[in-house]
Structure 1
Amino acid sequence: MKISDVRAHHIRIPYDAGVASFSQGAASIAALDIVLVEVTTDSGLTGWGDAFSYVCPRTTHAAIGEMIAPQARGQQVPDAAGIPAFMEQIQRNLHLFGRYGITMFAISGLDIALWDLAARAQGVPLHRLLGTQERTSIPAYASLLRIGAPELVAGECRTALSRGFSAIKLHETTTAPVHAARQAIGESIPLMVDLNCPLDGPAAIAFAQACREAKPLFLEEPVWPPEDFVTLAEVRRKGGLDVAAGENACTVHQFRQMLDAGAVSHAQPSVTKVGGITEYLKVAALADQRGVRLAPHSPYFGPGLLATLQLMSLRDDGAFVEFFYMKRDACLWRGRVDVDASGHVAVPAGPGLGYEPDREVMERYRVS
């Protein structure tokens, strides 16, 4: 079986996040940009991947067409045992264009699609290729976009709990909303705080200390730059709270640097960024060796979400799957991968990642 073609699809699905907002630079973002990677074969089987894009979908789309497709087209489709070597060679071939960022996002999309294909070829869900399934559903946390006003944060937290979510993550950079959230949800609900890399070391330490009474499960990415693992370790030591990071790290090599520095209690590989399923598995093994917990970064609604659920189902470690708290105009999976009334997301049981994307939704929301 050979790879006939590798094609990227840019899908833009509008959303409503209520009082919350997401912006980068001068632009307010009100739609989910998803770049799906479709790998077709001469046998008729198709695999689906997901390349991280957010505010750069055209760039990611171009990287797949210009860098990834020429590397893969015409190659023999590797089986599960052969995917790591296949992807290692592609990383070597493309290293000139960067070991992090867009190049690795595009590589991640291909890797996920190849694992989808490998499982589909055997007619089994992906988790069957990787190990023993420990969970058939994963508890979800509501990943709130940035709100700011403490009273609005409190209200959104209460609403999220009423809709079944069993934990909350904030994206706030001041302490008042953190304490408001804790007061709103009570002592027993896990609370996490993602700062998105804004602070220097002393400010991050002060923020952590000021949040201690709210008892967040962890502070996520408090430090700029995100690869300053020495400072991140200092925040962990002096701030009095656990620290999570890794969504901006690519390949197991950067995670090894992070863990060598003692920077985190929770490692956060992002399957659409880190290098795909292949690198995610390496990071998970490394974290286990070092006694560091996994808290995957996973605010996706494309094949990356399905891949994350398959991977998380292999571990009975209580970890939550991240779910952006928003109302989407449409779902690629016909609503089958949403949070249920008990606050869980079912792990797809079909071949490969578990589901085929809805072609009608793809066409309706396609960006030319």
Structure 2
Amino acid sequence: MLITNVRAHHIRIPYDAGVASFKQGASAISALEIIMVEVSTDAGITGWGDAFAYVSPRTNRTAVEEMIAPQALGQKVPDAAGIPAFMEQIQRNLHLFGRYGITMFAISALDIAIWDIAAKAKGVPLHRLIGEIKRTRIPAYASLLRIGKPELIARECETAVRQGYKAIKLHETTTPAVFAARQAIGADIPLMVDMNCPLTGEEAIAFAHSCRDAAPLFLEEPVWPPEDFATLAEVRSKGGLSVAAGENACTAYQFKQMMQAGAVSHAQPSVIKVGGITEYLKVVDLADQFGVRLAPHSPYFGPGLLATLQLLSLRDDSSFVEMFYMKRPACLWGGRIDVDANGDVEVPRGPGIGYEPDRAVMEQYRIS
């Protein structure tokens, strides 16, 4: 079975996050930018992946078209056992562009699509190629965007819990915000605080002390720069709280450095950033070796979310799936990945990553 085409689709689906906002620099982000990668074969089997692309969709699309497609076209699709070597060769071929950022995002998309094809060729869900399923439904946490005002944070947290979410994650950087959320959801709902890398080590330690009574499950990426694993380890040891990081790490090599430094209690590989399913599985092995828990980064709605659900189904460690807390006018998967009234998301059972995208939705929200 040979790869005959690699096509990148830029899909832009608007969303409504209520009182919350999502900003990079001075501009608010008002839509989900998805670069879906469609890999076709001469056997008629199509695989789907996606590349992280929130603020750079055109750049990521170009990376897929100019860097990834030439590496893949005409190549034989490997079986599951051969995918790691296949993808390592592509990483080696492209290493001069860096093993970080957009290059790895594009590689991630191809990797997910190749795994999708391999599972479809066997007629089984992706998880069957990897191991034994432990869960058919994954508990979800509501990943709130930045709100700022404690009273509004409390209101959104209360609403999310009423809707069934099993846990809450804030994207806030103030102590009043953390305590407002804790008071709103009660003592038994896990609360996570994603800071998005704003602080020095000393500031992060002080912040951890200031909000310790609110009992966050972890602080996520409290320090700048995110790859300063020594400082992150110091925050973990002196701050008195668990620390999570990894959404900005690419390849298992960076995760090994992170874990060797003792930087994290929770590792957060993002399947559409880290290098795809292949690298994600390497991170899982490392986490188990180092006694680090998994908390995958997954606030997205393309093939990467389906792949994450498949991977989470292989673990019975109570890990959550991260779901952006927002309303969307359309779903690529026909609403089948929505959080149910019990706060769970069902693991897709179809071949490959589980579902085929709704091409009518793709066409409606396509950016030419």
Say yes or no: TM over 0.5: yes
- Name the structure 1 match of 2:143: 143
Query: Residue type of the partner of 2:213?
Result: E
Match of 2:248?
248
Cα drift, residue 341 of structure 1: 0.5
Distance 1:26 1:62 in 2: 25
Q: Map Cα deviations across residues 309-344 of structure 1 (whole Å, 9 max, x no partner).
A: 000000000000000000011100000011000000
After TM superposition, list the pairs within 5 Å mapping 1:140-289 onto structure 2. Answer: 140-289=140-289
1:336-355 correspondence to structure 2 within 5 Å: 336-355=336-355
What code does the residue aligned with 1:106 have? A
CA distance in structure 1 between the aligned counterparts of 2:29 and 2:72, rounded to whole angstroms: 33
2:100 maps to 100
Quote how far apart the aligned CAs of 1:146 are: 0.4
**Cα offsets for 1:203-259 (capped at 9, x unmatched):** 000111001000000000000000000000000011000000000000000000000
Shift of 1:156: 0.1
* Matched position secondary structure for 1:318: coil
Moved over 2 A (4+): none
Tell me what 1:32 maps to. 32
Residue 112 of structure 2: aligned partner = 112
Partner residue, 2:362: 362
- Measure, in 1, the Cα distance between the counterparts of 2:304 and 2:228: 27
| Cα deviation digits, residues 270-314 of structure 1 (max 9, x gap) | 000000000000000000000000000000100000000000000
Amino acid paired to 2:81:
A
The Cα shift of 1:62 comes to: 0.2
Aligned partner letter, 1:136:
T
The Cα shift of 1:152 comes to 0.2
Q: Distance in 1 between matches of 2:265 and 2:298?
A: 18
**Secondary structure at 1:219's aligned position in 2?**
strand
Corresponding residue for 1:51?
51
Could you say which residue in structure 1 is the equivalent of 2:11? 11
State the Cα distance separating 1:346 from its structure 2 match: 0.1
1:13 is paired with a residue whose SS is strand
In structure 1, distance between residues paired with 2:13 and 2:164: 23
Amino acid paired to 1:61: R
Q: Structure 1: which 5+ residue stretches go unaligned? A: none
CA distance in 1, matches of 2:145, 2:101: 22
Q: One-letter code of the match for 1:317?
A: D
**Residue 92 of structure 1, CA deviation:** 0.1
Give distance in 1, aligned partners of 2:257 and 2:7.
34
Report the AA paired with residue 22 of structure 1: F
Answer yes or no: is 1:335 the counterpart of 2:332: no
> What number of residue pairs does the alignment pair up?
368
In 2, Cα distance between equivalents of 1:26 and 1:110: 32
In the alignment, the residues of structure 1 paired with residue 165 and residue 332 of structure 2 have an alpha-carbon distance, to the nearest angstrom, of: 21
Distance across 2 between alignment mates of 1:253 and 1:183: 40
> Which consecutive residues of structure 2, in runs of 5 or more, have no partner in the other structure?
none
**Deviation of residue 26 (structure 1)?**
1.4
Find the aligned partners of 2:127 and 2:193 in 1 and give their Cα distance. 30
Aligned-pair identity (%) = 78
Which whole-Å CA distance do the structure 1 matches of 2:68 and 2:278 have between them? 16
CA distance in 1, matches of 2:26, 2:73: 38
- 2-side partners of 1:26 and 1:237: how far apart? 35
